[in-house]
Amino acid sequence: MSNVTMMELSRELDEQFDRLLKECMVSGEIDQELYTEYDVKRGLRDANGKGVLTGLTEISDVLSYKSVDGKKMPANGELYFQGYNVKELIAGFEDRRYGFEETTYLLLFGSLPTPKQLRSFVRIIKSLQELSGQFLRDVVMKATNKNQMNALQRCILTLYCYDANPDEVTVPNVLRQSLQLIAKMPQIAVHSYCAYRHFHADDTLVIRLPNKEMSIAENILQMLRPDGEFTELEAKVLDVALVLHAEHGGGNNSTFTNHVVTSSGTDTYSATAASIASLKGPRHGGANLKVQQMFADIKEHCPDYEDEKTLTRYLEDMLDKKVFDKSGLIYGMGHAVYTLSDPREVILKEYAKRLSEEKGMQREYGLYERVERLAGEAIAKKRHLFKPICANVDFYSGFVYSMLGIPEELYTPIFAISRISGWSAHRLEEVVNNGKIIRPAYKYVGHHRSYIALDDRRE
């Protein structure tokens, strides 16, 4: 070591790592034509982009086509929870505070609750909200980090240690654990963010406990805001957003992850943490944040929101990978299932408009509406597409959260707070039906080789 400086050693290690990296890239690369040769359903999708059927569920249904004279035609999207159209559910919740709680009951138990059942269910959820002072101190407040999805995942996993019976995979035990997670996740997410801001941005640490008289949506706002105040419309809009994000079929990435992990027989906390890991990804739950970043970039380069020619040119440059993150994507546009419209986007857009009027942000709302229209036209033109391109729910969700004063770090955790209802319903469905472990096949396309002794291998 005396004849080798640390700088030389570091340079040598860097060179060795670069060599290993090149070998990894070469070794891991698969001939893309083999996917066609062996008819591999990449991403579990067929050649037309339709998801491969991997299971059965009664929890939700996602529709995007209709049959006309025996032909499959694009249609306005529809979403059903346990057989009920989400559009009708939200219309029915208009004058009620506990829409998300009622939706959660529906997803878990298969039917809409009676007034008495809903009151009882809300009381149960509120009784399970509390986190012990020890958990807040030792788990939420320590080892804080900027990415709140990782913080949420860490806290969920650690709840395992506070459960007297964490590993039992029976319906009663999984239901108990699911209800506790649904109740506790809002507090975990908000307090994790507040702790991070306190220790890393010198913000005053204010810990507001859940108010037993408030709904989950109302509590998120009152725990997050220094003065604990919010308007009736703000709470309603957040409640609607939670309902819309609560469930979206068994095939979405995070829910399918929950099915896969649950089928192995693992515990509820591990299955939920796996779903959170999936939802964190920018191709899934993290998309709403990318939309907000994209709009910040659009506002910077197109300050005249009404100038459609400039907006169109910029959107085309975005598709040509010249501006923003140069990915060639317009975030929030397009969906794997929906064609003419995403019903969640249609509903949330209307509430975004109402909230923008209360906030005096009609100009910003106009920009979103304009970009939505122009982006669809630009994508169809640039990509020579005949299939319609619609905005998805992520297009307006970030805008709604920004108007509600929710920090960007909590955009995806809010999604998780909502989707835990769907994850729990699907986990329970998997446990109730006691299915086989989910194990799809992978085709080996390498070569068999004879072993070569170490001393006989050429440098």
Residues with active-site annotation: 335, 394
Q: Looking at residue 50, what DSSP letter applies?
A: P
CA distances from 214 to 58, 217, 220, 230, 407 (A): 31, 8, 9, 12, 21
Token digits for 281?
């990804």
Residue 310 CA to residue 303 CA, distance in Å, equals 10
β-pair partners for 166: none
Give the residue from 44, 166, 182, 22 showing the smallest Cα distance to 109.
182
Selection from 263, 420, 429, 288 nearest residue 352 by Cα: 288
The CA distance from 53 to 55, in Å, is 6
Nearest CA-CA partner of 348 in 298, 399, 299, 313: 399
* CA 343/CA 330 separation, integer angstroms: 19
d(CA 430, CA 222): 35
d(CA 309, CA 365): 18
Per the CB < 8 A criterion, the answer to whether 248 and 79 are in contact is: yes
Do the Cβ atoms of 263 and 430 come closer than 8 Å?
Answer: yes
Of the candidates 97, 349, 130, the residue with the CA atom closest to the CA atom of residue 214? 97
Question: Which is nearest to 169 in space by CA: 259, 268, 271?
Answer: 268
